[in-house]
């Protein structure tokens, strides 16, 4: 168990939730909503569903308050809940193929909330749009486990050990998964790469 | 270090997680191996391109909607808890009533039990009772006979 003095913000708030402090729960929602929604979105590609899933994650966090123990970083625990939820959702939707790329094609940039807006030329805009599309396609085409491991590692900076806890795998299995994920990404994006001519040491 | 060994350590090399000595060994190999160098460069560049995955800012009312769902959930939890407590209280009440009835029925039986048993004992042991009455009568007669024999014996001795 994480010693009291070294607990992260989420763990501290969760201990308060455990003691009946409902305002602490609202604080958890405010602090962690960005991470959870982003991760859910990058995994499933649907903005509206990502928010629905994130909301369900928070309700499950609250329901688990009685048995919560600060054994791992709060983020790791919350992502574990998200992972279980999206895996179940993915299995349910696989039969309906509701997460096919066709559901994303034709969606304009405005349909996604872009975090950093800047002034760009029409050519750049077109290239950027094409690149965004290609990157989304690359990530969504990864096998589910590779996709989740990559999203957690790349966008949430989770270590191999933390990802292993989220996905209930060994660290070696996570490394193997990330190795294959990055190979797949390289193969798909090789045409878009500006590779450095000389090796940086 | 050979290409196969470098390939195994590539992930941690790219994530700067190798120990100093191992990192140096990989670097040395990459300086002399164009194929591995190309692969590592492409992996590094493609990892960078993933930065262009558009993010998603939460909608403005996400916290509000989540807290509304949360309050709804709490309301249902409290109702379910109240219902559970009500059921337990009702069950306890029924148990109490049943216990009182049961123990009351046991008490009434005890009061009537002895006379009924006494009657039964008389009926079961009727022969014995009859023998006892006979013996009581016999005992009286026996006294008389014993007295008679005594006097007979006494008179015989006197006759002698």
Neighbouring residues of A135: CB distance < 8 A, sequence distance ≥ 6: A189, B49, B50, B52, B53
Task: Answer yes or no: do A59 and B52 touch at CB < 8 A.
Answer: no
Same domain, B44 and B16: yes
Q: How many domains in chain B?
A: 3
Task: Answer yes or no: do B63 and A41 touch at CB < 8 A.
Answer: no
Task: Answer yes or no: do A113 and B45 touch at CB < 8 A.
Answer: no
Residue B159: inside a domain, yes or no? yes
Residue with tokens 């096998």: A143
Same domain, B90 and B133: no
Residue B61: inside a domain, yes or no? no
Residue B59: inside a domain, yes or no? no
Q: What is the 3-state secondary structure (H, E, C) of B113-147?
A: HHHHHHHHHHHHCHHHHHHHHHHHHHHHHHHHHHH
Dig out the tokens for A120 from the structure.
């760009």
Closest CA–CA distance from residue A143 to any residue of chain B (Å) = 16
Measured between beta carbons, the chain A residues lying within 8 angstroms of B62 are 29, 33, 37, 51, 54-55
In B73-111, which positions are buried (b, 16+ CB within 10 angstroms) versus exposed (e)? eeeeeeeeeeeeeeeeeeeeeeeeeeeeeeeeeeeeeee
Burial of A8 (0-12, 13-18, 19+ CB in 10 A): middle
Same domain, B115 and B130: no
Task: Answer yes or no: do B11 and A178 touch at CB < 8 A.
Answer: yes
Task: Answer yes or no: do B53 and A131 touch at CB < 8 A.
Answer: no
The ipTM (two decimal places) reads 0.77
Q: Residue B39: which domain range?
A: 3-52
Same domain, B119 and B140: no
Residue B143: predicted pLDDT = 52
Same domain, B120 and B93: yes
Burial of A167 (0-12, 13-18, 19+ CB in 10 A): buried
pLDDT tens, position by position, B23-69: 999 999 999 999 999 999 999 999 999 988 877 889 999 999 999 99
Same domain, B117 and B137: no
CA atoms of A149 and A181, how far apart (whole Å): 8
Same domain, B103 and B133: no
Same domain, B111 and B132: no
CA angle A176, A181, A187 (to 5 degrees): 130
Span of A119-133, A181-195, B73-87 with lowest mean pLDDT: A119-133
Same domain, B107 and B143: no
Best of B8, B49, B63, B73 to substitute, by most chain A Cβ atoms within 10 angstroms, is B49
As a residue count, chain A comes to 201
Integer-rounded Cα Rg, in Å, for chain A is 19
Picking from B11, B54, B57, the nearest residue to A182 by CB comes out as B11
CA atoms of A134 and A4, how far apart (whole Å): 45
Residue B66: inside a domain, yes or no? no
CA nearest to B41 within chain A: A195
Q: Which residue ranges form the domains of chain A, and what is each CATH number?
A: 1-100 (1.10.1740.10), 117-193 (1.10.10.10)
Closest CA–CA distance from residue A91 to any residue of chain B (Å) = 24
Same domain, B143 and B117: no
CA atoms of B135 and A199, how far apart (whole Å): 130
Residue B62: inside a domain, yes or no? no
Same domain, B24 and B37: yes
Residue A116 pLDDT level (bands cut at 50, 70, 90): very low
Residue with tokens 């050519």: A123
User: What is the value of pTM for the model shown?
Assistant: 0.70
Residue B67: inside a domain, yes or no? no
Measured between beta carbons, the chain A residues lying within 8 angstroms of B10 are 179
CA atoms of A191 and A187, how far apart (whole Å): 9
Task: Answer yes or no: do B62 and A51 touch at CB < 8 A.
Answer: yes
Average pLDDT of the residues of chain B? 77
pLDDT tens, position by position, A21-39: 999 999 999 999 999 999 9
């Amino acid at each position: 168990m994480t010693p009291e003095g070294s607990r992260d913000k989420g763990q501290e708030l969760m201990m308060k939730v455990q003691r009946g402090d409902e305002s602490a729960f609202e604080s958890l929602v405010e602090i962690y909503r960005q991470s959870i929604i982003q991760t859910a979105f990058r995994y499933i590609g649907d903005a509206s569903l990502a928010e629905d899933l994130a909301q369900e994650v928070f309700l499950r966090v609250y329901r688990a308050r009685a048995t919560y123990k600060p054994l791992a970083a709060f983020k790791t625990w919350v992502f574990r809940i998200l992972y279980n939820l999206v895996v179940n959702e993915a299995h349910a939707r696989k039969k309906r193929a509701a997460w096919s790329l066709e559901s994303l094609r034709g969606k304009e940039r405005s349909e996604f909330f872009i975090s950093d807006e800047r002034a760009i030329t029409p050519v750049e805009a077109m290239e950027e749009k094409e690149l965004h599309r290609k990157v989304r396609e690359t990530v969504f085409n990864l096998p589910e486990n590779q996709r989740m491991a990559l999203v957690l590692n790349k966008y949430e900076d989770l270590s191999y050990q933390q990802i292993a806890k989220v996905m209930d795998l060994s660290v070696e299995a996570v490394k193997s998964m990330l190795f294959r994920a990055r190979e797949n990404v390289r193969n798909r994006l090789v045409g878009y790469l500006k590779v450095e001519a000389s090796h940086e040491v | 270090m050979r290409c196969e060994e470098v390939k195994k350590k590539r992930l941690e090399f790219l994530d700067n997680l190798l120990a100093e000595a191992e990192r140096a060994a990989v670097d040395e190999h990459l300086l002399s191996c164009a194929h591995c160098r190309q692969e590592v460069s492409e992996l590094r560049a493609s990892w960078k391109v993933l930065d262009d995955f558009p993010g998603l800012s939460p909608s403005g009312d996400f916290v509000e909607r989540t807290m509304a769902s949360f309050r709804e959930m709490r309301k249902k939890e409290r109702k379910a808890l109240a219902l559970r407590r009500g059921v337990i209280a009702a069950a306890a009440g029924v148990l109490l009533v049943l216990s009182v009835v049961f123990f009351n029925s046991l008490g009434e039986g005890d009061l009537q039990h002895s006379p009924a048993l006494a009657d039964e004992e008389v009926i079961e042991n009727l022969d014995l009772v009859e023998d006892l009455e006979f013996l009581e009568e016999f005992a009286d007669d026996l006294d008389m006979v014993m007295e008679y024999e005594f006097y007979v014996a006494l008179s015989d001795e006197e006759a002698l």
